A and B are shown apart, each in its own frame.
Chain A
Amino acid sequence: MTPRRFSFLLGASFIVALSVLGAIPAWTQDTVLKTQAFGTLTRPVALFDHDTHNEKAGLDDCAICHHVYRNGKLVAGESSEDKACSDCHTLQGQGRQPGLRVAYHTACAGCHTTKAKGPLACGQCHRR
Chain B
Amino acid sequence: MERIYILVSGPLAWIAWSVLILGSIYRLWQVFSLAKQKEQVLFSYISLKYALRSIINWSIPWNTTNMRLHPIFTGVAFLFHIGFFVILIFLSAHVIMIEEGFGLSWPTIPDALADVMAFLVVGACIFFGVRRIVRPEVAFVTDWTDFALLGLVAAPFLTGILAYHQWGDPLLMTILHMLSAEILLISIPFTRLVHMLFAPFTRGYIGSEFGMVRHVKDW
Residues of A participating in the B interface, judged by any CB pair closer than 8 Å: 42-43, 101-102, 105-106, 112-113, 116-124, 127-128
Residues of B with C-beta under 8 A to A106: 100
Known: A102-B100, A121-B174, A123-B173. 20 other contacts (CB 8 A): A42-B92, A42-B110, A43-B111, A112-B2, A116-B3, A116-B6, A119-B171, A120-B174, A121-B163, A121-B170, A121-B175, A122-B163, A122-B170, A123-B164, A123-B170, A123-B171, A124-B171, A127-B166, A127-B170, A128-B165
Contact present for B6 and A123 (CB under 8 Å): no
25 contacts between A and B (CB under 8 A): A42-B92, A42-B110, A42-B111, A43-B111, A102-B100, A112-B2, A113-B6, A116-B2, A116-B3, A117-B2, A119-B171, A120-B2, A120-B9, A121-B170, A121-B175, A122-B163, A123-B166, A123-B170, A123-B171, A123-B173, A124-B170, A124-B171, A127-B166, A127-B170, A128-B166
Residues of A with C-beta under 8 A to B164: 123
Closest 10 CB pairs between A and B?
Answer: A123-B170, A121-B174, A123-B166, A121-B171, A116-B2, A120-B5, A124-B170, A121-B170, A128-B166, A116-B3
| A40-B110 Cα distance, complex, nearest whole Å | 13
B9 to chain A, nearest CB (A): 8
Residues of B with C-beta under 8 A to A113: 6
B39 interface hit (Cβ, 8 Å): no
Contact present for B93 and A122 (CB under 8 Å): yes
B193 interface hit (Cβ, 8 Å): no
Which of A112, A118, A124 has the largest number of chain B CB atoms within 10 A?
A124
Contact present for A120 and B6 (CB under 8 Å): yes
For A115, the closest partner residue in chain B by CB is B2
Residues of A with C-beta under 8 A to B2: 112, 116-118, 120
For A43, the closest partner residue in chain B by CB is B111
For B163, the closest partner residue in chain A by CB is A123
Which of B3, B100, B110 has the largest number of chain A CB atoms within 10 A?
B100
